[in-house]
Structure 1
Amino acid sequence: MSTTFKLDTATSRAHPTPQPMRRLTVPKIQSRKADGATKEPLVMLTAYTARTAQLLDEHCDILLVGDSLGQVIYGLPTTLQVTLDMMIAHGAAVVRGSYHSVVVVDMPFGSYEASPQQAFESASRIMAETGCAAVKLEGGQAMAETIAFLSQRGIPVMAHVGLTPQAVNALGGYGARGRSQEEHAKIMADGNAVQEAGAFAVVIEGVIEPIAIALTQALEIPTIGIGASAQCDGQVLVTEDMLGMFERVPRFVKRYEDMASVISKAAGTYAEEVRARTFPGEDQTYQPKS
């Protein structure tokens, strides 16, 4: 049993209270794929705050603190401006707000590409300061040496191949990958390289479906699809995209709710009541004791 913090939401301010919990582990995630197949697909969503983590945790196997927080939380144009400090702050919050899921934290652009040693310094800081279970980095064959260096030193690594957002400038945009034979071969080679290097799982993003299926069948480690195929060993989406918080989302996103409209409507009702002086009412104010 491990001890973490679960937020007490019975009060207006969420006070953490220690509770003994049994959290999933990286080996448990990896063992979900046996003999080349995963009977129960892995569920992964992004989380950036303690409260969001708490709401998602019971439904997920993995919570990803993605560098997508740069766009989702901070309004940045791409993920390239995200810093290590940002990832650590949000990663620690997600760990505090969860008790069941494996928490994986993205390594931001510029924190690992220079050398395996640089990657270890960044990853060890993420692990120590957040309490997360693993890190995720983008790249296939080019990052194999780094993945091996981290894995051999006790840092579990989730890899990421196909469309890699941190390399958007080199790729020329966010279009689907794998349409040419050359790209097809590279994605397959990248997947095999990260597996051989010791990655415990790999995200396959934005590739044409036959490649995602072929790579899933070829690898012994779980594949997590995003814009890939339902035949991957699991799926991940940006939670705010899935909840309908933005008008524009990638084609591969399915909106499961229209939370933007819900929030806007609630704010509008609040504004009307404030202007009409009907809020706060008797239930929200303190009256003299009789």
Structure 2
Amino acid sequence: MSQVTITSLLKKKLNKEPFAVVTCYDAGFATRVEKAGIDAILVGDSLGMVVQGQESTLPVTVQDMAYHTRCVAKGASRPLIITDLPFGSYNSVEDCLRNATALMQAGAEMVKLEGGSWLCDSIVQLNRAGIPVCGHLGLTPQSVNLLGGYRVQGREDEQAEAMLADAKALQAAGASLLVLECVPKTLAARISEALDIPVIGIGAGNQTDAQVLVLHDLLGVTEKTAKFVRNFADGSASVEDALLRYRIAVEDRSFPGDEHTFT
């Protein structure tokens, strides 16, 4: 199979073909993700919690992200590799450019940033430097202290309208993908319909263009998981089998079900 690109993911959106994304941190699992036919790998700053044992993503550094990106890039060549810019690494356009460049040099093919329209100047500059961008709205874990915990975002009309406006602004600035986390399914569907770029949901219903789950969550390794998680290892013969079942469930929209969705 040919290498996944931004263009091929956009084509999937146009053809209404949902695609799967997995958050992964090392070469061994990246190889299995690739064999399962999953289109994109997110090297997430969630590694702070599931790999390092931290209480949040905030302690993760650019050096941590670069290390794990290099590992993933050694294990997979077909999926699009997206890497999180960690907390505090993109507070200015200059910092954003410098740190994103380091992650791209480590093997990322796109960087992900959490936040709304205040990121537009950085996105414009990243694109000028040849760096593709994935936005992230809704529950943004790097802002957990400001949000008052891990809570669903966008339930109030004013907040929903602001999120839609932010999504459109990020797209206009040059974002090529957008993650929506812990957002009511009706709002997620509305944003997905309004944007030309693919929208990746996590706890955002099954009407987005794609889904993402943390590898450790979908394999049942994490002891305490969120409502939007399904253990695909349950009943699977192997890691690769679990990943394949996840991909198929995303593609036929049987996952996420109502039990994984917020209203």
- Settle same-fold status: TM greater than 0.5: yes
1:242-253 equivalences in 2 (<5 Å): 242-253=218-229
The equivalent residue for 1:31 is 11
The answer as to whether partners of 2:83 and 2:110 remain within 8 angstroms in 1 is yes
- Identity among equivalent pairs (%): 42
Among candidates 190, 199, 202, match of residue 226 of structure 1: 202
Moved over 6 A (4+): none
The answer as to whether partners of 1:22 and 1:99 remain within 8 angstroms in 2 is no
The equivalent residue for 2:129 is 153
CA deviations over 1:266-290 (Å, ceiling 9, x no partner): xxxxxxxxxxxxxxxxxxxxxxxxx
The answer as to whether partners of 1:70 and 1:79 remain within 8 angstroms in 2 is yes
The equivalent residue for 2:175 is 199
- Out of 145-154 and 86-95, give the one that drifted further: 145-154
Which structure has the bigger radius of gyration? Answer: 1
Structure 2 residue identity aligned to 1:46: T
Q: Distance in 1 between the 2:64 and 2:2 partners? A: 27
Structure 2 residue identity aligned to 1:101: P
1:140 aligns with 2:116: yes
3-state SS, counterpart of residue 175 of structure 1? coil
3-state SS, counterpart of residue 83 of structure 2? strand
Q: Distance in 1 between the 2:230 and 2:169 partners? A: 31
The equivalent residue for 2:259 is none
Q: Distance in 2 between the 1:140 and 1:242 partners? A: 28
1:44 aligns with 2:21: yes
Among candidates 98, 114, 119, match of residue 121 of structure 1: 98
The equivalent residue for 1:281 is none
3-state SS, counterpart of residue 58 of structure 2? helix
3-state SS, counterpart of residue 32 of structure 1? helix
The equivalent residue for 1:14 is none
The answer as to whether partners of 2:19 and 2:209 remain within 8 angstroms in 1 is yes
1:1-290 equivalences in 2 (<5 Å): 22-34=2-14, 38-58=15-35, 59-113=37-91, 115-128=92-105, 130-258=106-234
The answer as to whether partners of 1:245 and 1:258 remain within 8 angstroms in 2 is no
Query: Is the strand fraction higher in 1 or 2?
Result: 1
Q: Which runs of 5+ in 2 are unaligned?
A: 239-263
The answer as to whether partners of 2:50 and 2:222 remain within 8 angstroms in 1 is no
Q: Distance in 1 between the 2:188 and 2:115 partners? A: 16
- The alignment yields a C-alpha RMSD, in angstroms, of 1.7
Aligned residues: 236
Q: Distance in 2 between the 1:190 and 1:171 partners? A: 17
The answer as to whether partners of 2:48 and 2:54 remain within 8 angstroms in 1 is yes
Q: Distance in 2 between the 1:39 and 1:123 partners? A: 31
Q: CA deviation at 1:258?
A: 4.7
Q: Which runs of 5+ in 1 are unaligned?
A: 1-20, 263-290
Q: Distance in 1 between the 2:130 and 2:233 partners? A: 39
Q: Distance in 2 between the 1:118 and 1:112 partners? A: 5
The answer as to whether partners of 1:26 and 1:133 remain within 8 angstroms in 2 is no
Q: CA deviation at 1:119?
A: 0.3
The answer as to whether partners of 1:202 and 1:223 remain within 8 angstroms in 2 is yes
Q: CA deviation at 1:22?
A: 4.2
Q: Distance in 2 between the 1:25 and 1:180 partners? A: 35
